[in-house]
Structure 1
C-alpha cells in the first residue's frame, strides 16, 4: 500500500540501499550483505518498499529502480570488497534487456562478490532464465529467497550450483513448524554444498530453533537490522 506522503516525496534519486548482513551462525561473521531499497523522505522518514513500489510499478520504473539500486550498491560495496546481492523481481527476469545487461556486466567476473536474490516463486516461473544466467556467468552468486517448500524447480536449481537457499520467515516462525521439511531441506542443501539461510530471526527463541535444526546461516533483526552504512 502506497503511503500518502510517497506520492509527493518519491524521486528515484532518494532511493538508497540499506545493507542487512547474512550471518554465519557458527562464527558470528558476515557471509554477505543483502542490499535493500529504502526511500529517504522528508524529516528523516525512511519508507519501506511496500510503501513506494506501487508507484514504481504504476510508472513502469521497475528496470530503472533495479539499475539504480545496483549502481548505488556497487559504488559502496566494491571498494570495501564486500560480498553483496540485490533482489530481482519477476518483471526483471522477464526483461530480456536487463538479463542481457547482467550477463554483459558479469560474464567475465572472477569472483562471487556480486549476487542476485530471486524468490522461490520467480524461480519456478523463470528457471530457464536462471539456468542461462548460470551458464553465462559462472561466478554470479545466485540465492533463492522465500523458500517454504521443496519442489522440482528448487532441486533443479541446486544442480546449477547456486550459492544459497533462504527459508521463508513464515516457515521458521510457524507455530506448527514442519520439522521434517526443514530436515529434508538441510540435508538437500548439504548434499549440494549450498548454504541454507534462515530469514526473519527476530528473537533468541527462533535463533535457538534454527541452530537446533542444523541451519548454519541466518538473517533477521535479532542478528542485525538493515543499515545505511556497514
Structure 2
C-alpha cells in the first residue's frame, strides 16, 4: 500500500525510529534494540519503509533518511546504557556524505561499541571491496558490524564467517526446517559451531512461534528477535 495521503506533504521530519528488542534467552532480558524507520502521519497512522520508500527515492533522499533515523536513534540511546542496531544499505556504505555524517555523530558519542550497523548478507557479498572499506571505517569509529538476512540458499557461509563482523542474524525459516530436514539440521549446527569458533554471535530473527523458539533454544542459540517477543514500538518502555 502506498501512502497516497501524504504524497504531497511527505517530510523526513515525520520519520522516526521504532525499536524492536533482541532478547538474551539465557536471562530473558533485552540484549539490544534494532532501530527501524517508521513514518508517522499527522493522524498518527504508522507506515513501514516499503510503504513510503518510493517517496524517499523520488526525492533522492535515501541518504537523508538514513541520517535522520541514525541521528534520532543515537539521541534516544545517548544516555541509556543499552546496545542498539541500525540498518544501512549498499548505497549508504559508499556514500561520502553519510560516512562523514557517521564520523561527526560518533566523534563524542559515549561508548560507540554499544552501536551495531546491520548490513544484509547480500550487500556484504555483492561488493566486497566497498564492504571491506566500510568495515575499516566502522572499526576506527568503534562500532560493530552485524550481517542481516542470512539464508542458506543465497549466502556463502564460509565467506561470511571470514568478514570482520560481530554477529550474524539467521532467519527463523531455517530453524523451522531443522526437525524435518536432516541436511538443514547439519548446516545449521555447522553454522553455529563455526560462528562460535570465529567469535561471531548468532541471532535468530523473525521468531513468531513458540515452537521455533524451542528449537532455537535446543540448538544453544543465546539471542533471538521477532514478533513472538514484541513488535517494533515507538519507545523501549
Q: TM-score, normalised by structure 2?
A: 0.86
* Contact 1:134 1:140 survives alignment (8 Å): no
Over the aligned positions, Cα root-mean-square deviation in angstroms equals 2.2
Question: Are 2:107 and 1:75 equivalent residues in the alignment?
Answer: no
Determine the C-alpha separation between the residues in 2 that align with 1:39 and 1:116.
Answer: 21
Q: TM-score, normalised by structure 1?
A: 0.89
1:201, distance to aligned residue in structure 2 (A): 0.7
Unpaired runs of 5+ in structure 1?
Answer: none
Q: 1:168 aligns with which of 166, 171, 188?
A: 171
Q: 2:145 aligns with which of 138, 142, 145?
A: 142
Query: Hey, what does 1:112 align to over in structure 2?
Result: 113
1:107, distance to aligned residue in structure 2 (A): 7.4
Q: 1:214 aligns with which of 216, 220, 228?
A: 220
Determine the C-alpha separation between the residues in 2 that align with 1:153 and 1:81.
Answer: 33
Unpaired runs of 5+ in structure 2?
Answer: none
Query: Hey, what does 1:3 align to over in structure 2?
Result: 3
Query: Hey, what does 2:232 align to over in structure 1?
Result: 226
Question: Are 2:159 and 1:153 equivalent residues in the alignment?
Answer: yes
Moved more, 37-46 or 129-138: 129-138
Determine the C-alpha separation between the residues in 2 that align with 1:10 and 1:82.
Answer: 31
Determine the C-alpha separation between the residues in 2 that align with 1:122 and 1:219.
Answer: 21
1:2, distance to aligned residue in structure 2 (A): 2.3
Number of residue-to-residue matches in the alignment: 227
Q: Secondary structure at the match of 2:117?
A: strand
Determine the C-alpha separation between the residues in 2 that align with 1:53 and 1:205.
Answer: 34
